[in-house]
Structure 1
Amino acid sequence: MRILIIEDDPAIAANLYDYLEAAGYAPEHTADGVTGLHRAVSAQWSAILLDVSLPGMDGYTVCRKLREEARRDTPVLMLTAKDTLDDKLAGFGHGADDYLVKPFSLKEVGARLAALIKRHQGQVVPGALRCGDITLDPRTLEVERAGRPVRLPRKCLHLLQLLMGAPGQVLRRAELETAVWGEPLPDSDTLRSHMHTLRRALSADGEATPIETVHGIGYRIGSMSGGASSAGDAP
């Protein structure tokens, strides 16, 4: 998932960048409002971290233009030293989805960011996930393929839920490891082993594997129209 950081303080930007990258996101940084707005509207982002006091164009204006002129609904988390109620109301009034006052905890940034992305993707009150002939009910944790029950270990079930929540998207190895184990793992053997177990269970009746390895990056669940294009077990 791609995250745009619009922040003019080099130290804060570097900390955010390193934290998000370690968590499996794909961050990009700009240091002024004009460039930030250009990048915000010229590419697709899972969320934007937006400072208010920026050179060239302040964050309020960036957010307003993003909403009113570019008509983008990308989740925006404002990060700013402005801490009065009026400041916060101004942020929400210009289109921000959430507001966090500096200094902040990187873990809180991560938690708020994940919540915004889930809400934007409609995952707050989850319904059944479907990809081709595979169905996963997040409430009962039941998985079926073409009507056949599929029994999975807990961590494999979590991996499948992550993949099915972002069909066609490549989820990076570190992103999956952080979501399932709480942190990136020192090597890929654990994730590789769980992916092998997951693939074997989903293809127990000889079906094509639905999970594609994007070598050197991570995994994604395929379109299911003709199976995944790669059946390897390791990125």
Structure 2
Amino acid sequence: MTRTLLIEDDLDLAQTVIDYLQLEQIDCDHASNGVAGLNLLTDNDYDVLLLDLNLPRLDGLGVCEKLRQEGRDIPILMLTARDQVDDKISGFHAGTDDYLVKPFALEELVVRIDALSRRRSGQVQLLSYADLQMNLKQRTAMRAGSPLKLSPSGWQLLECLLRAAPEVVPRYKLEQSVWGETTPDSNSLKVHLHHLRKAVDGAFSPPLIHTIAGHGVTLRKLDDETTAQP
């Protein structure tokens, strides 16, 4: 069952949404202000956040910004009565993934939730795994507190690996992250990965970047190093 959190101070609307989502087999917790919502997000795992823009204590933009600054990649659907372009732009800059203007059809809400629940947000600005951290806004990368020197291509490869970590990324996706639809030289990816490994793993332990034979490349701590190739 999809788990959602609704942060909405209109209690009548909140109850209507909760009841309807329950009929659609979507579990929905509720908070009536931004601070209470952040507390629930700290204590629970949700697939989608339904976030009202105008909230007491901490508004929707503040909640959104705090989550993205912390590196939380939960998809966020902003619910708002504001239909101005500037308001939507502010929401996207804060890190929301989608907008739904009030009043909205509950059927459309379900469709949006279903779409968002099948992916993680691309709006997150802080990516991390183990002792490796990348701040997309500040354009900095660090491991164990030490800054990493990355080439533009190395940055793109590391971002791709961090967004998927600890899952394996196929080679074609890594190539697309650097060269788009242009087919690179057969050795280009291998060379760039070699330089990335030197930057990320050369002076640190344990190694984090591994090639999984027949599958692709992963950023993870491996218990069995025999499954990986350098």
The TM-score, its normalising length taken from structure 1, stands at 0.50
C-alpha distance in structure 2 between counterparts of 1:91 and 1:10, whole Å: 23
The equivalent residue for 1:97 is 97
Displacement after TM superposition at 1:43 (Å): 1.2
C-alpha distance in structure 2 between counterparts of 1:90 and 1:41, whole Å: 24
**Residue 40 (1) aligns with residue 19 (2):** no
C-alpha distance in structure 2 between counterparts of 1:81 and 1:49, whole Å: 14
CA deviations 1:122-143 (Å, max 9, x no partner) are xxxxxxxxxxxxxxxxxxxxxx
C-alpha distance in structure 2 between counterparts of 1:4 and 1:93, whole Å: 21
C-alpha distance in structure 1 between counterparts of 2:68 and 2:120, whole Å: 15
**Residue 74 (1) aligns with residue 85 (2):** no
Displacement after TM superposition at 1:53 (Å): 0.3
Please state whether the residue corresponding to 1:17 is helix, strand or coil.
Answer: helix
Displacement after TM superposition at 1:98 (Å): 0.3
Q: Which moved more, 1:102-111 or 1:38-47?
A: 38-47
Counterpart of 2:9, as a letter, is: D
Counterpart of 2:115, as a letter, is: A
Are the aligned partners of 2:75 and 2:119 in contact in 1 as well (CA < 8 Å)? no
Please state whether the residue corresponding to 2:119 is helix, strand or coil.
Answer: helix
Please state whether the residue corresponding to 1:99 is helix, strand or coil.
Answer: strand
Displacement after TM superposition at 1:11 (Å): 1.2
CA deviations 1:164-202 (Å, max 9, x no partner) are xxxxxxxxxxxxxxxxxxxxxxxxxxxxxxxxxxxxxxx
C-alpha distance in structure 2 between counterparts of 1:41 and 1:89, whole Å: 27
Counterpart of 1:95, as a letter, is: G
The equivalent residue for 1:9 is 10
Compute the RMSD of aligned alpha carbons: 1.2
CA deviations 1:8-32 (Å, max 9, x no partner) are 0011101110111111111101100
Are the aligned partners of 1:45 and 1:74 in contact in 2 as well (CA < 8 Å)? yes
Q: Which moved more, 1:112-121 or 1:21-30?
A: 112-121
C-alpha distance in structure 1 between counterparts of 2:72 and 2:119, whole Å: 15
Please state whether the residue corresponding to 2:42 is helix, strand or coil.
Answer: helix
C-alpha distance in structure 2 between counterparts of 1:30 and 1:43, whole Å: 13
C-alpha distance in structure 2 between counterparts of 1:2 and 1:60, whole Å: 22
Displacement after TM superposition at 1:88 (Å): 0.4
Size of the aligned set, in residue pairs, is: 120
C-alpha distance in structure 2 between counterparts of 1:103 and 1:118, whole Å: 25
Q: Percent identity?
A: 47
Q: Which runs of 5+ in 2 are unaligned?
A: 122-230
Displacement after TM superposition at 1:42 (Å): 2.2
Q: Which runs of 4+ in 1 moved over 4 A?
A: none
Q: Which runs of 5+ in 1 are unaligned?
A: 122-235
The equivalent residue for 1:52 is 53
Counterpart of 2:39, as a letter, is: H
C-alpha distance in structure 1 between counterparts of 2:117 and 2:21, whole Å: 14
